[in-house]
Amino acid sequence: MTDDRRRTTDNSLPCEATLAKQGRQNSQNAVQVYSALRGTTERRSRQEKINMPIKTKSIRRALADLIRRVWEENIRLKASGLVTMTWGNVSGIDRRRGIVVIKPSGMDYAALRPDDMVLTDLEGRRLEPASRLEPARLPSTDLPTHLVLYRAFAEIGGVVHTHSTYATAFAQACRSLPCLGTTHADYCYGAVPVTEVMRPPAIREQYEANTGRMIVRKTRQLRLQPMACPFILVANHGPFAWGATPAAAVENAIVLEAISKMALLTFLLDSPRRSLRRSLGGRRKGISQVLLDKHYLRKHGPSAYYGQAKHNPSK
Ligand SMILES: [Zn+2]
């Protein structure tokens, strides 16, 4: 068995033009849906403008299930212990409408309510607040990173970013995470990559969007299928994870932290004749291809047999 599952083919990898077109189409969908729900034209009367927040509630009602799920997953992420202070965020996307739901920036999780979730289109244009009486919440500052990932990876429905300790330690060391055992192989078909170190011009301008672009670039360089390696380490920064849903993305973020901790402990326990520096330098190559195939493919793909039912292949 080769690692074709982990790698994309030219046919399955959309080109930049296709992705840009998809992004524009989704944005147009968002604007059309929003405009339809508002029931307004370009030239609205003052009274219509006053009524707009009520219409805005319609779009929140239409997306109520996604909004609640994104809120719940943000709460679950905090409860998982992966988030210190407010260093984490979860988003989800309604692909049909082209609308992204994301945690507001810097809000205390204990005070977070579904109405605080921020709605934008795929270009980051914010939709209206839930109520005219409430101030508009600002989206997470990482929104542009999430948007780049949604535009590039058509199959994902949720994105998570944290600064979880062990995964962030590998990211700060600018080291990829080799597949050292079957826990890792159950979720990721090979090593977890680390991005290139970001150069100053990319940091000064559009930093968050450039973070997303670096993730996409590394994924394409390695010809990875996003769902076969549902997380990445951003050099000097921390991990991003994704999944088919916000819940799956959070699960993957939790898995990444667990396998990062296991990997670091494995390196520490490695042959006492090897220094830690040598171990981390890549002497440990990881599990065999046959063991990687066995564990990954028994949970994913057409021959999967792990778990109780076909409808939830991630379990
Ligand atoms: Zn961050």
The predicted pLDDT at position 307 comes to: 75
Distance 71 CA to ligand 1 centre (A): 19
Is residue 290 very low, low, confident or very high in pLDDT (cuts 50, 70, 90)? confident
Q: What is the CATH number of domain 16-38+46-297?
A: 3.40.225.10
Distance 141 CA to ligand 1 centre (A): 9
Model confidence over 79-124: pLDDT tens digits? 999 999 989 999 999 999 999 999 999 999 999 999 999 999 999 9
Look up residue 261 and give its two tokens.
């901790």
Query: What region does 206 belong to: left with phi over 0, alpha with psi -120 to 50, or beta?
Result: left
Q: Which has the higher per-residue pLDDT, 284 or 78? A: 78
* 306 among known catalytic residues: yes
Give 61's contacts (C-beta < 8 A, 6+ positions apart). none
In angstroms, rounded to a whole number, what is the distance separating the alpha carbons of residues 287 and 176? 15
Average pLDDT score over residue span 155-173: 98
Average pLDDT of the chain? 81
What residue segments make up the domains of the chain, in order of their start? 16-38+46-297
DSSP codes joined into one string, 159-216: EEEE--HHHHHHHHTT--B---SHHHHHH-SSPBPBPPPPPHHHHHSSHHHHHHHHHH
Distance 73 CA to ligand 1 centre (A): 18
Average pLDDT score over residue span 245-264: 98
The catalytic residue among 3, 115, 116, 186 is: 186
CA–CA distance from 104 to each of 129, 157, 210 (Å)? 12, 18, 21
Distance 111 CA to ligand 1 centre (A): 21
* 150 among known catalytic residues: no
Distance 42 CA to ligand 1 centre (A): 38
What DSSP state is assigned to residue 279?
Answer: I
